[in-house]
Structure 1
């Protein structure tokens, strides 16, 4: 049985760049559809959500930040932010809104293809069948980046998994925000403390859906966060 090709939306108002990305992604085996207007792109995402969105920040009608914010209200489709802005606030805001990755212009189309492939590998690993959680309340598969709580698999982004797994490996240890940032951002990019707070907030919300009787990711005032295993 032939595997269905993945559909990638290219939301980019530079027509030549959009066509170049189309050529590279099609050559890599993906289906593509390009949009040069933000509102039209968002309407298309609502009507027929693709497998991944390459999303420029600066767009006519509706900017990329607004598209990402509104999309996250109804979909977890992977989003790669593409931007000419390199200021920390743009990177921070994009990731806080749930972007899975970002690329700064100028970039190589080959780099975009590599990042698209990496995200699809992660999605496939997360969606692969997993062994029953048994009697454990919390089960983690590092290779597949999966967390199962009370038999429910959490739908975590790569960064959310890394935050959780860092603390999960050392129960009771207090991690400062800087320590967590160093763990999840191996390229040592400059980000704000608010980034970790945002990831933890979203992580707690997803955990509470499966397990709302205990707070297993706990705040330690003035120090950071820690993982406390649930009572047996």
Structure 2
């Protein structure tokens, strides 16, 4: 059984595209087109995830996200046509779990949906292990293996590695990786992400000083390579 996803999108064609993609993934979907309806539906229906467009009539997506965060910890994936870094940081600062800029592919959107649902433990079913090259992360057994050998990880390290393995080759900023540890490592900062990455390299790299799996993308963040070292 899939999750229940609330889609908040004022563009009816975009909303229908998202709805069909989610249905194909086995989820149930409720669609609304403005901020007040979004808040009302979230409170009445208690969905597992909100896919929230920023550019809405009336209260925009930022205001809706702020309201939802005051109400609780409902996972939020924000969508926007504005690619400015300030907008991205504002959305994450308000508590959004992830942030995508338009245009995006339905396939990428569904990958992000799976990641957010998995992180919140609301996927609606047991998630299969995810793999990136030699690294396998099992969210059900809470196990990590590299080249078949078990790897002991802290909860924050596991959350970061699971997010990266679910989307190999995607570049994550420190802030995005920090968001994946929300509720696990509350005192953490963006610089703490560097420490988690350094510790993970010690555990999954043949030579942590010359990483071949967990790579730095200078000026941006980190990615987990799907190529075998």
In 1, Cα distance between equivalents of 2:80 and 2:37: 19
* Aligned position for 2:61: 64
In 2, Cα distance between equivalents of 1:128 and 1:11: 30
2:6 touches 2:29 (CA, 8 Å); kept in 1? yes
Q: Is 2:135 the partner of 1:121?
A: no
1:45-124 paired onto structure 2 within 5 Å: 45-124=42-121
* Aligned position for 1:135: none
Q: TM-score, normalised by structure 2?
A: 0.59
CA, structure 1 residues 45+85, in 2 after alignment: closer, same or farther (shift >3 Å)? same
CA, structure 1 residues 84+113, in 2 after alignment: closer, same or farther (shift >3 Å)? same
- Aligned residue for 1:68, secondary structure, equals helix
Point out the more displaced range, 61-70 or 157-166.
157-166
Q: Measure how far apart 1:129 and its partner are.
A: 8.8
1:128-207 paired onto structure 2 within 5 Å: 140-141=154-155, 142-144=157-159, 157-158=179-180, 160=182, 161=185, 163=190, 164=192, 166-167=194-195, 188-189=219-220
Q: Measure how far apart 1:111 and its partner are.
A: 1.0
Q: Measure how far apart 1:157 and its partner are.
A: 3.8
In 1, Cα distance between equivalents of 2:28 and 2:90: 29
In 1, Cα distance between equivalents of 2:28 and 2:87: 29
C-alpha deviations, 1:26-52, integer Å up to 9, x for none? Answer: 001111111111111111112222111
- Please, which runs of 5 or more residues in structure 2 have no aligned partner? 122-126, 128-138, 143-152, 161-177, 199-213, 222-229
Q: Measure how far apart 1:110 and its partner are.
A: 1.2
The number of residues matched between the two structures is: 160
CA, structure 1 residues 106+187, in 2 after alignment: closer, same or farther (shift >3 Å)? farther
In 1, Cα distance between equivalents of 2:219 and 2:14: 29
- Return structure 1 stretches of 4+ with deviation > 6 angstroms: 127-130
